[in-house]
Structure 1
């Protein structure tokens, strides 16, 4: 930086005076191409100052941001549509179950084939018979597993690993939803396990798994536990 430049920067600049000068001498910038270049501006063919590279860079950055947001919205829409389509197909699969054992098998198949999960399990608590293929718990275990999470619990919870039998080593996250079956009511769970630690997280919505739990309830109540 030259001594003259340093001296100029030390002077107090009156912005209003600069603005008034440029308005009074509109050709000043146009006649100084070096100054225009330093400011990132350029004159166009009609003698109007054009915000050349700087303006183009800003416009390009804005366009890139818009493109990223648009792609994210489109990806979310595709994922939602795919999840809805798989859910509809899963409901049909569950409704086609022939008995409790077949229902449990279809839940596990649905988890793997429809949603790419490691396992799906139907759990029943309390005294009395438990259908073949279902996981049995003694009284009080569901409350111990669910804690204060109400209807559904999402994320990793080590005490629930035993629900997944010989697949427990694969489970890194899980979705657990309460079931109420038959009259008098017996407590149960619909449990899904994922091999991905981010497959189910505590901040996820529970609408999808809760809906599937209601379908399992209604389907299971077609038959008594023999």
Structure 2
């Protein structure tokens, strides 16, 4: 063999001949071989097969990235579903209304990983109600029309069952003393049954990215549906 030719280790050569798949499955190695082949052919020759390989490789990389994204989204959705189920089961445990509400700000909030949970009920009687005084950290009473005004920001738009948004200045009527550090919220509008004014369940978070309009609302919609049915039972 002349000095101008590169030699290859005998053991490595035998390994490649015995198991060529180790070369074919190594992208970097195959890319180096294709590039060497193009240089050997010269600048005036177009290697259509090499171009096709590059395009197929690029498409494969995009497919693999999509596959990873789909798998990650599926795991995230499964984790969210389990989280909502656990919160609902805990919410259904109490046998008294006050315990039901107190658990919202305790175990249920912890399971949902939110910093606070607030319940607002519209009433024509005002807020001087014994249960409101006892549960003021969770429950507050507002005048009729408050829920729709709060959720829509006073705009003439439809009231959605679930609204996710980032906020810069939280409403003290809803959040009380913790309003200053709430940066995102989920607003769940409650239908409490015929003849009753609506309610609002608010999940507040210090993290501004926990609730944004880009997030899905299906799981929270399901949670809100279970909650409002539980409230109907307590209020009956």
TM-score normalised by length of structure 2: 0.66
SS in 2 for 1:98: coil
Aligned counterpart, 1:105: 102
Q: Is the deviation greater in 86-95 or in 157-166?
A: 157-166
TM-score normalized with structure 1 length: 0.68
Q: How many Å separate the matches in 2 of 1:34 and 1:198?
A: 51
1:155 aligns to 2:165 (yes or no) = yes
- Of the three residues 159, 171, 178, the one matched with 1:167 is 178
Q: Deviations over 1:40-85 (max 9, x none)?
A: 64xxxxxxx963xx55544443332222111100010001111111
In the TM superposition, residue 122 of structure 1 has moved relative to its aligned partner by: 1.5
CA contact (8 A) 1:180 1:188 kept: yes
- C-alpha distance in 2 between matches for 1:220 and 1:110: 18
1:142 alignment counterpart: 147
Aligned to 2:72: 75
The verdict on how the C-alpha distance between 1:115 and 1:138 changes in structure 2, with shifts beyond 3 A counting, is same
Contact 1:156 1:174 (8 Å CA) reproduced? yes
Q: Which runs of 5+ in 1 are unaligned?
A: 1-32, 42-48
Structure whose CA Rg is larger: 1
* Partner residue, 2:218: 207
Contact residue 152 and residue 178 of structure 1 kept, 8 A:
yes
- Matched residues in 2 for 1:110 and 1:206: separation? 22
Residue pair 2:91, 2:108 contacting (<8 A) in 1 also: no
The whole-number CA distance in structure 2 between the counterparts of 1:192 and 1:218 is 18
Paired with 2:171 and 2:204, the residues of 1 have a C-alpha distance of 9
Quote how far apart the aligned CAs of 1:168 are: 1.7
Q: Does residue 1:95 correspond to 2:106, yes or no? A: no
Secondary structure at the residue paired with 2:190?
strand
Change in Cα spacing, 1:97 to 1:62, as seen in structure 2 (3 Å) is same
**Alignment pair present for 1:186 and 2:197:** yes
